[in-house]
Amino acid sequence: MALSAPNEGLRPSQSTYGAKDITVLEGLDPVRKRPGMYIGSTGPSGLHHLVWEVVDNSVDEAMAGYCTRIDVTILADGACRVVDDGRGIPVDPHPNYKNKSAAEVVLTVLHAGGKFGGGGYKVSGGLHGVGVSVVNALSKRLVLEVDRDGDRYVMEFANGGKVQKKLAVEGKAPRGRTGTIITFWPDPTIFEETEFRGQTICERLQMYAFLNRGLEIRFRDEREGATTTETAYKYTGGIIDFVRHLNAAKEALFKKPGYFDQSEQNQEVEISFQWNTGYNEGIHSFANGIATTEGGMHEEGFKKALTNVVNKYARAKGHLKEKDENLTGEDIREGLTAIISVRLADPQFEGQTKTKLGNVSIRSLVERATNEKLAEWLEEHPTEGRQIVQKGIQASRARTAARQARDLIRRKSSLEGAGMPEKLRDCSTRDRRLAELFIVEGDSAGGSAVKARNPEFQAILSIRGKILNVERARLDKMLKNNEIQALIAAIGAGVGDDFDVTKIRYDKVILLCDADVDGSHIRTLLLTFFFRQMRPLVEFGHVYIAQPPLYSTVIGKAKTYLKDDAAKERFLAEQAPKKFEFQRLKGLGEMDFDELGETTMDAARRTLLQVSVEEAAIADQVCSVLMGDDVEVRRQFIQANAKDVRFLDI
């Protein structure tokens, strides 16, 4: 394809640009036109985002002190229903919209809600005001029921938010009940699939319950064959219980999590913390119930004060000698699990994703609270204080050894193309935006992949067997492992706190593993390594899982490949009553290189699964369960998720 000179082909004589070329999208049309702008994607994450938007409104009612219970139900026909016992969406006429109730405005007008001022909410999570209207826009049908003043009001929408039935009283509300009921059916013309995953919903609902002490949240799945039929979450300990939950699969350094809180004017902070014997840092922060996965001012304040307080305490108690250096923040935070939850009247999030908090005032509050309250806690818990300091000293010694190992790896790969792993078959392009790295287990599969690749932009790194389980190893030990050294050198952006995602050598890092149990284990080990030691690689969407087929069959003279057992069953249902013979593709090494290229590596025909981290706290806990030492907890997790295997892509 030739590149034209600037503005070539766009001269006034060749095209016109006038008023008729301006398209105006009204009402909810912009949402249906560009759904990704509002919910991120039209895949499974976007589908579940609809649930979060509705539940967020109910949680805001709880934070305002008006809601004590939320019920989320997946109906037999696949719809989602959210019920709360809050005040109920206002039903009186809206002063700025003729012949429209406030409820209709909320459901049909973007940026309409009770969170932009006035007395509706002092603190809320859903700040953009597009939540429930976006759900309406992306649903083939939505039913609103509101219980207020003893009456039940009902309104219906269909086909992307068009009013089918105006708001009207349809009987009396149950005695003494107030609240909102929203039932919606996702639009199959918008979403790639419309089947909700019960476990995904349960994980998020449990997090809401942890962050809102005393709020009861119930989940029910009425679909046939549901794995999680009914679950209830309610935590009187709030974020203390959250820390216990995150550390359940780990060995805690001391028994009871610490806790402190503080408030001033229109903002408050509560923090719970507990160290474990592991080597990974797990600080998870929230602002008004929203997960701030990129941190922000509240995390900055906590980390700065934590480093100051622990060093001051260690020196005062003689655990650190005058000649010793201070412990670094990295040393002190090794093995720390902490929840930082702040609430404030006017949160300033960086970007529409609400993943980083920018309020300077909350940093000051968190820093002061940690300096005062954590110092008091350490004085009151000398045994725990000594354990924390000793762990930090051990981490400091290991950090020195790890730095030496990192420097060695860095020196080996400092020159482009030099010091690369022996098993790396690099690509020719130097444009990392185009480059892909396939990580393949075994020489046989690696050889097939090398033959099947496009050498211009596809690189192959063969690894030997199962890499070290980094969940159970310190960085200094990890860096002695040959396979991990090869991964670090090939990706070229460092490791741990030194990792710099802007320096990666490949835009896509693709895990190409067999479609069997061993392949799943290798993939899990690799994902754990990336999540723990190269997390930005995952957070910025650079990690993918290849989808090699498990079966092949022949239709006429053409070979058809099927990803898994579910795909095989669908194929048989579509082709019934014809009979087919299937070949089970046991491993990548047994596939011809042309088969591997056609099904798994050809960019035009392959299917890649992008790995994302929407909830860092949930991902942290899953890594700990799957790769930790507690066999019983892991067994329970696998049993709970066994029937959802298609979502796990193993």
* pLDDT single digits (tens) 306-336: 999 999 999 998 888 765 578 999 999 999 9
Of 112-126, 549-563, 578-592, give the range with the top mean pLDDT.
549-563
pLDDT at res. 93: 87
383, with CB counted inside 10 A (0-12, 13-18, 19+), is exposed
Give the separation between CA 252 and CA 265, rounded to whole angstroms. Answer: 35
pLDDT at res. 325: 73
**282-287 and 436-441: which strand pairing?**
unpaired
Residue 133 has pLDDT above 80, yes or no: yes
pLDDT at res. 416: 41
Rounded mean pLDDT, 130-135? 82
pLDDT at res. 147: 96
What band does 220 get if pLDDT is binned at 50, 70 and 90? very high
Q: What is the pLDDT of residues 334-366, one digit of tens each?
A: 999 999 999 998 888 875 556 789 999 999 999
What band does 637 get if pLDDT is binned at 50, 70 and 90? low
What band does 519 get if pLDDT is binned at 50, 70 and 90? confident
pLDDT at res. 526: 87
- Would you list the DSSP string of 397-452? HHHHHHHHHHHHHHHHTSSTTSS--TTEE--S---TTT-EEEEEESHHHHHHHHHH
Give the separation between CA 214 and CA 205, rounded to whole angstroms. Answer: 13
Residue 617 has pLDDT above 90, yes or no: no
Residue 390 has pLDDT above 90, yes or no: yes
Question: Which has more pLDDT, 398 or 226?
Answer: 398
Question: Which has more pLDDT, 202 or 94?
Answer: 202
Residue 171 has pLDDT above 90, yes or no: yes
> What mean pLDDT, rounded, does the chain reach?
83
Of 130-134, 222-226, 269-273, 525-529, give the range with the top mean pLDDT.
269-273
Rounded mean pLDDT, 243-257? 91
**Strand order through the sheet with 551-555:** 558-562, 551-555, 583-584
Tell me if 153 sits within 8 A of 169, measured CB to CB.
Answer: yes
User: Of 35-49, 238-252, 384-398, 563-577, which range is least confident?
Assistant: 563-577
Rounded mean pLDDT, 89-104? 85
Q: What is the pLDDT of residues 1-22, one digit of tens each?
A: 333 333 333 344 445 544 444 4
Give the separation between CA 481 and CA 619, rounded to whole angstroms. Answer: 24
Rounded mean pLDDT, 444-471? 86
Tokens in use for 525?
Answer: 């080990």
Name the one residue in this structure whose structure tokens are 């070979």: 559
Type of residue at 447: G
Phi and psi at residue 628, in whole multiples of 5°?
A: -85, -170
Q: Which of these, 505, 499, 506, lies nearest to 536 by C-alpha position?
A: 499
Q: What is the pLDDT of residues 473-517, one digit of tens each?
A: 777 788 888 888 899 999 999 888 889 999 999 999 999 988 777
pLDDT at res. 411: 56
pLDDT at res. 120: 47
Give the separation between CA 39 and CA 142, rounded to whole angstroms. Answer: 17
pLDDT at res. 237: 95
pLDDT at res. 265: 81
The residues that are catalytic are 441, 514, 516, 518
**What does the angle CA 216 – CA 217 – CA 220 come to, to the nearest 5 degrees?**
140
pLDDT at res. 366: 97
pLDDT at res. 117: 44
Domains annotated for the chain, with CATH where assigned, are 29-233 (3.30.565.10), 239-399 (3.30.230.10), 416-548+592-648 (3.40.50.670), 551-584 (no CATH)
